[in-house]
Structure 1
Amino acid sequence: MTTTPIRYSADIETIDPDEGEVIAKLNDAFDTILERTSQDYGHAVRAVHAKAHAILVGELEIEAGLPPELAQGLFASPGTHRAYIRISTNAGDILPDSISLPRGVSLKILGAHGERLAGSEGSAQDFVMVAAKTFQAKTADKFLGNLKMLAKTTDRLEGTKKVISATLRGVHNAFESVGLEAPAAVDSLGGAPNLEPLGISYFSVTPFRYGDYVAKFGLVPIAPAMTALTDETIDVDGREDAIREDVRAEMRTIDAAWELRVQLCRDLERQPVEDATVEWDETEAPFVRVGILRAQAQDSWDPARVEEVDEAMRFSVWTGLEAHRPLGNINRARRDTYRHSADFRAEFNGCPYREPVAD
Structure 2
Amino acid sequence: MNTGRALNDMLTRVLWLGRRIDPLLRPAIDKLVRPPLQGAAQWVVRHRLPDPGPGLARERRIAGEEQIVGEIIATMEKFLRREYGPGQAQRAGNTKTYGVVRGEFEVPDSIPEDLRHGLFARPGTYRAWVRLAGPGPLAPADLHDNAIMSIGVKVTGVPGTKLIEDEKNTQDFLGISAPTFTTPDVRENLQLQQEVWNRTPLLYFIRPGRSHWADLIMQGLYAKTAASPLQATYYSCVPYLLGAGQAVQFRFVVRPFPFRRVPLRPGPDYLREALATTLAERDVIFDMLVQVQTDPRRMPIEHAGVVWPERLSPPVPVAVLRLPRQHFDSPAQRAFADNLSFNPWHALLEHRPLGNQNRARLAIYTILSRVRQQMNAAPPIEPTGSEEFPAKASAR
Measured against the shorter chain, the TM-score band is: 0.7 to 0.9
* Distance of aligned partners of 1:303 and 1:7 in 2 relative to their CA distance in 1, 3 Å threshold: farther
Equivalence for 1:99: 144
Paired residues for 1:113-152 under 5 Å: 113-152=159-198
Aligned to 2:288, what secondary structure does the other structure show? strand
Residue-by-residue CA offset, 1:36-70 (whole Å, 9 max, x unaligned): 2212x851110111111122101011011322111
Paired with 1:22 and 1:124, the residues of 2 have a C-alpha distance of: 29
The structure 1 residue matched to 2:67, chosen from 2, 10, 21, is 21
* Distance of aligned partners of 1:111 and 1:223 in 2 relative to their CA distance in 1, 3 Å threshold: farther
> What displacement does 1:7 show?
8.3
Residue-by-residue CA offset, 1:256-301 (whole Å, 9 max, x unaligned): 1110111111111111101111110111111111111111111132
Residue-by-residue CA offset, 1:309-343 (whole Å, 9 max, x unaligned): x2221001111111111100011111101011100
Paired residues for 1:1-359 under 5 Å: 12-39=58-85, 42-101=87-146, 102-153=148-199, 183-186=217-220, 192-212=224-244, 213-225=246-258, 228-229=259-260, 232-235=261-264, 237=266, 239-308=267-336, 310-357=337-384
Paired with 2:229 and 2:333, the residues of 1 have a C-alpha distance of: 19
> What displacement does 1:100 show?
3.1
Q: Indicate if the aligned counterparts of 1:108 and 1:124 stay in contact, CA closer than 8 A.
A: yes
* Distance of aligned partners of 1:329 and 1:52 in 2 relative to their CA distance in 1, 3 Å threshold: same
> What displacement does 1:250 show?
1.7
> What displacement does 1:114 show?
1.9
Paired with 1:331 and 1:147, the residues of 2 have a C-alpha distance of: 16
Q: Indicate if the aligned counterparts of 1:223 and 1:258 stay in contact, CA closer than 8 A.
A: no
Q: Indicate if the aligned counterparts of 2:155 and 2:170 stay in contact, CA closer than 8 A.
A: yes
TM-score when normalising by structure 1: 0.83
Aligned to 1:183, what secondary structure does the other structure show? helix
Q: Indicate if the aligned counterparts of 2:340 and 2:380 stay in contact, CA closer than 8 A.
A: yes
Residue-by-residue CA offset, 1:211-248 (whole Å, 9 max, x unaligned): 132101100111523xx34xx435454x1111111221
Paired with 1:285 and 1:130, the residues of 2 have a C-alpha distance of: 20
Q: Indicate if the aligned counterparts of 2:87 and 2:377 stay in contact, CA closer than 8 A.
A: no
Aligned to 2:230, what secondary structure does the other structure show? helix
> What displacement does 1:120 show?
4.6
Equivalence for 1:170: none
TM-score when normalising by structure 2: 0.76
Residue-by-residue CA offset, 1:153-181 (whole Å, 9 max, x unaligned): 29x9xxxx9xx9xxxxxxxxxxxxxxxx9
Aligned to 2:143, what secondary structure does the other structure show? coil
Paired with 1:215 and 1:357, the residues of 2 have a C-alpha distance of: 27
Paired with 2:220 and 2:306, the residues of 1 have a C-alpha distance of: 17
Identity %: 27
Gaps of 5+ in 2: 1-53, 204-214, 387-396
Q: Indicate if the aligned counterparts of 1:33 and 1:92 stay in contact, CA closer than 8 A.
A: no
Paired with 1:275 and 1:268, the residues of 2 have a C-alpha distance of: 11
> What displacement does 1:71 show?
0.9
Paired with 1:105 and 1:114, the residues of 2 have a C-alpha distance of: 24
* Distance of aligned partners of 1:235 and 1:350 in 2 relative to their CA distance in 1, 3 Å threshold: farther
Code of the aligned partner of 1:97:
D
* Distance of aligned partners of 1:129 and 1:80 in 2 relative to their CA distance in 1, 3 Å threshold: same
Q: Indicate if the aligned counterparts of 2:178 and 2:219 stay in contact, CA closer than 8 A.
A: no
* Distance of aligned partners of 1:317 and 1:236 in 2 relative to their CA distance in 1, 3 Å threshold: farther
Aligned to 2:160, what secondary structure does the other structure show? coil
Paired with 2:121 and 2:339, the residues of 1 have a C-alpha distance of: 30
Aligned to 1:197, what secondary structure does the other structure show? coil
How many residues align structurally?
321
Paired with 1:91 and 1:27, the residues of 2 have a C-alpha distance of: 16
Equivalence for 1:171: none
Code of the aligned partner of 1:197:
P
* Distance of aligned partners of 1:222 and 1:185 in 2 relative to their CA distance in 1, 3 Å threshold: closer
Gaps of 5+ in 1: 1-5, 165-180
Q: Indicate if the aligned counterparts of 2:279 and 2:326 stay in contact, CA closer than 8 A.
A: yes
RMSD: 2.5
* Distance of aligned partners of 1:187 and 1:224 in 2 relative to their CA distance in 1, 3 Å threshold: closer
